[in-house]
Chains A and B, each alone.
Chain A
Amino acid sequence: MRGVPLTDYWLMLPMAELTIFALGTLLIDLMVPRQWKWINAAGAFIGVLFATLCLWRLQSMLPRGATGFYNALRVDRFAIFFWYLFLAGAALTIPTSARYLDIEDEHDGEYYSLLLLSVVGMMCMAAGIDIVLIFIGLELTAISGYVLVGFLRRDRRSNKAAVKYCLLGAFSSGIVAYGFSLFYGLSGGTNLAIIMRAVLGQNPHNPVVMIALLTTMAGLLFKIAAAPFHQWAPDAYEGAPTSVTGFLSAVVMAAGFALLIRILVFGLLPLRSVYTPVITVVAITSMAVGNFAALSQTNTKRLLAYSSIAHVGFMLLAFVAMGTAQLGSAAFFDGFKGILIYQVVYILMNLGALAVITSLRERNVIGDEISDMAGLYRRAPIEAVLMLLFLLSLAGIPPAAGFIGKYYIVLSLIEAGHRGLAALAVIFSLIGVYYYWKVAHAVLMRAPIEKERLHIGFGMRVAVGVTALATIVIGVYPQPLIKGVNWSLGIAQPPHAAALGK
């Protein structure tokens, strides 16, 4: 019986590390007395750092990427880019959660464990080219997410959010699985390359192919909360513990996009003409729903949820550019680059904004209404300024990093000839400025309701500081990030992963 060659196990080293640390955190949590609970957070953080180091070594050992486990796992530059991104997202989430969990009085060992396992699942999603592995990764992340969203067991909003997220998440996973089963039936294999070959030979309007494509896409669009499958996002983001909202909206969303790219571009490229119109409609609807619904929100987490939906719509437009441009043309690569750059930038700004909201949590204040941010400038001036930076980035205004992401996607749309769509995207972004301004107004100009100064933990300061620094650096000097993205696409640049926005 042939087994897996031993060298293949190197490829999953970061994932194995994170799993070991996740299990270790669970064990340590049992043995540690109450006042030493911070060891859980520290242990998880060390696990993430360790996994990053392993990834660094792996990357230098395999400059060209490698495939292993019978062609199920492909650790190429694309995967390594996203792996760094997920690890960075986890590393930024862990310090912001520590004090929050303390106040919420929740037993926190499982929290960090689930966070790490979620990252393992996301790594499977980004590096998997076999639909079985992709599905497992999808589920690992999703199920960890359900529990994380419902982590505050005594909070009714958290329960409700978890129920909604779990039900709709399980539903979408089932739909994706059905689509995958049909693709298996069409091709007789589970590898994306085999599926692509089989799909190439089929008439694209074959009903089975259509159903398979539509169900797979429906499920995947659910995961990234694109309209019309966005219903779960506002409630889930609002009810979840705020640090989990950050993780969910930024990092899990990035994994969803990595998955979309893997499946739609690497796997189902021959069906471009079929899925691009669908994505166009979904993108425009998402931007419309997200922007218009956010205008009337008073809860910052719900506002950020709707703004996420709008951003997702914007990112999906890059798929439209890639879907209609010639393969290998400038528009195609710019669209691809645009998505990757936007992911990095998006993780930074969302995690940053939600970290600031997390820090507003005090014993008697939940801190997720806009009025809770009132007068932040007087209570915590540095944080207030950084929050303004994140809002600028979210609105896509230079010199904050959000502009760079939007620039590339609009560029790719124009290069692919979709000037109308590009104009529409810019108009929708301008609508966004209004609701970001509402929050900024509260931060700067309204009188504070709570008069005392905000107590911000050390970990939170570092996390927000790093995020803000990266946002402004990328906004002003995006060249290293662009070089990193070019590298991950393999466009004639030397390996240069050092400045991937951490």
Chain B
Amino acid sequence: MVPITTFHYLVVAAILFVLGVMGVLLRRNLVIALMSVELILSAVNLNLVAFSRMWGNLHGQAFAIFITVDAVAQTIAGLGILIAFFGNHETGQ
């Protein structure tokens, strides 16, 4: 059984990042594109927490909290904009 090191966390975060990037660029549905942005920010959080554990200080975790707050704010702004958009157009494409 291979011990789980920081590197594994980084790989998972990288995979999430790539999935998020592909989601934003390739998906046509706007709501899913916003979700993909959330995926990217989750990848960032995972990175930060893993590095925080590796270095043994709390800077990463503090940064992660800020990023979480920012992700929430972006989602709210984005959904608000989408609501205004759908109020004027018909489909979700």
Chains A and B belong together in one complex: yes
Residue numbers of A with Cβ under 8 A of B are 131-132, 135-136, 139, 143, 146-147, 150, 153-154, 156, 159-160, 162-163, 166-167, 170-171, 173-175, 177-178, 180-182, 184-185, 188-190
Interface residues of B in 16-35 (CB under 8 A from A): 17, 20-21, 24, 30, 33-34
Known contacts A159-B84, A175-B40; A185 and B17 CB within 8 A of each other: no
Please name the residue on chain A nearest to B10 by beta carbon. A185
Residue numbers of B with Cβ under 8 A of A are 10, 17, 20-21, 24, 30, 33-34, 37, 40-41, 43-44, 47-48, 50-51, 54-55, 57, 59-60, 62-63, 66-67, 70, 73-74, 77-78, 80-82, 84-85, 87-89
B37 to chain A, nearest CB (A): 4
A174 to B21, CA, bound (A): 9
Please name the residue on chain A nearest to B47 by beta carbon. A181
Some 20 contacts from A to B, beta carbons below 8 A apart, are: A135-B67, A136-B66, A139-B70, A146-B77, A146-B78, A154-B88, A156-B89, A166-B81, A167-B24, A167-B34, A170-B78, A174-B41, A174-B44, A178-B44, A182-B47, A184-B63, A185-B50, A188-B51, A188-B55, A189-B57
Please name the residue on chain B nearest to A167 by beta carbon. B33
What DSSP secondary structure best describes chain A's contact surface? helix
B74→A139 contact, CB < 8 A: yes
Find chain A residues with CB under 8 A from B80 CB: 147
A146→B81 contact, CB < 8 A: yes
B88→A156 contact, CB < 8 A: yes
Please name the residue on chain B nearest to A185 by beta carbon. B51
Find chain B residues with CB under 8 A from A173 CB: 70, 74
A177→B37 contact, CB < 8 A: no
A184→B74 contact, CB < 8 A: no
What DSSP secondary structure best describes chain B's contact surface? helix
B56 to chain A, nearest CB (A): 8
B47→A185 contact, CB < 8 A: yes
A159→B81 contact, CB < 8 A: yes
B51→A184 contact, CB < 8 A: yes
Residue with the greatest number of chain A CB neighbours at <10 A, chosen from B21, B33, B43, B44 = B44
In-complex Cβ contact of B40 among A174, A188, A190 (8 A): A174
A239 to chain B, nearest CB (A): 11
A136→B70 contact, CB < 8 A: yes
A103 to B92, CA, bound (A): 30
A175 to B37, CA, bound (A): 9
In-complex Cβ contact of A143 among B17, B20, B30, B74 (8 A): B74
A341 to chain B, nearest CB (A): 33
Known contacts A156-B89, A174-B40; A150 and B81 CB within 8 A of each other: yes
B40→A184 contact, CB < 8 A: no
A83 to chain B, nearest CB (A): 22
Find chain A residues with CB under 8 A from B37 CB: 167, 170-171, 174
A182 to B10, CA, bound (A): 9
Find chain B residues with CB under 8 A from A167 CB: 24, 30, 33-34, 37, 78
A177 to B48, CA, bound (A): 10
A135→B59 contact, CB < 8 A: no
Please name the residue on chain B nearest to A133 by beta carbon. B66
B78→A135 contact, CB < 8 A: no
Find chain A residues with CB under 8 A from B34 CB: 167, 170
Residue with the greatest number of chain B CB neighbours at <10 A, chosen from A150, A154, A159, A189 = A159
Known contacts A156-B89, A171-B40, A182-B47; A166 and B62 CB within 8 A of each other: no
Find chain B residues with CB under 8 A from A162 CB: 81, 84-85
Find chain B residues with CB under 8 A from A160 CB: 85
Please name the residue on chain B nearest to A143 by beta carbon. B77
